[in-house]
């Protein structure tokens, strides 16, 4: 699988038009970090004698982003929604479904991931697709 995140160079060494250096995503490095973070939280909760600690919205977003990237094998753009759902979280992630030149022709998709209170993926689904140039006209469901 060849995944290019934001801030990485396209073939020929040219930066992609829509790249942002401070927004780059290193899939392999961040996945291991997030798993370690979740493990550490669980261990601290057990040692404290309580149940598992609830994830923060930021951590839920990062974890869902990794799950969607792993499962789809596609380039992820970012998290567009994080909201509490029962004992867990629902997170929406924007994914590049189809790259085009120019990038304004890219097809993007929004995937919704449901996480439990420990950050484990319960379910995911593609909610909608749209062209980058037209923007996402969908709303919070």
In a domain, 15, yes or no: no
| Domain count along the chain | 1
Contact 19, 6 (CB under 8 A): yes
In a domain, 107, yes or no: yes
**Euclidean distance between CA atoms 129 and 138, whole angstroms:** 9
Predicted pLDDT at 12: 43
In a domain, 25, yes or no: yes
| Nearest alpha-carbon partner for 53 in 34, 33, 39 | 39
In a domain, 99, yes or no: yes
Sheet holding 121-131, edge to edge: 75-85, 88-98, 107-115, 121-131
Q: CATH number for the domain including 72?
A: 3.10.450.630
Predicted pLDDT at 122: 98
Predicted pLDDT at 2: 44
Predicted pLDDT at 32: 63
**Euclidean distance between CA atoms 132 and 102, whole angstroms:** 10
What's the predicted TM-score (pTM) here? 0.63
Q: 55 is in which domain, residue-wise?
A: 20-131
In a domain, 29, yes or no: yes
Residues of the chain with pLDDT under 50: 1-25, 141
Predicted pLDDT at 13: 42
Report the DSSP pairing between strands 88-98 and 107-115.
antiparallel
In a domain, 14, yes or no: no
In a domain, 139, yes or no: no
Predicted pLDDT at 28: 54
């Amino acid at each position: 699988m060849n995944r290019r995140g934001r801030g990485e160079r396209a073939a020929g060494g040219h930066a992609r038009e829509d790249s942002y250096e401070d927004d780059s995503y290193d899939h392999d490095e961040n996945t291991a970090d997030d798993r370690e973070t979740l493990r550490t939280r669980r261990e601290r909760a057990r040692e404290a004698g309580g149940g598992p600690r609830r994830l923060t919205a930021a951590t839920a977003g990062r974890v869902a982003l990794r799950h969607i990237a792993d499962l789809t094998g596609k380039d992820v753009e970012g998290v567009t929604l994080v909201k509490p759902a029962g004992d867990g979280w629902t997170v929406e992630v924007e994914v590049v479904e189809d790259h085009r030149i120019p990038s304004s022709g890219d097809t993007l998709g929004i995937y919704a991931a449901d996480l439990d209170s420990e950050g484990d993926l319960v379910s995911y689904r593609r909610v909608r697709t749209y062209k980058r140039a037209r923007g996402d006209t969908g709303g919070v469901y």
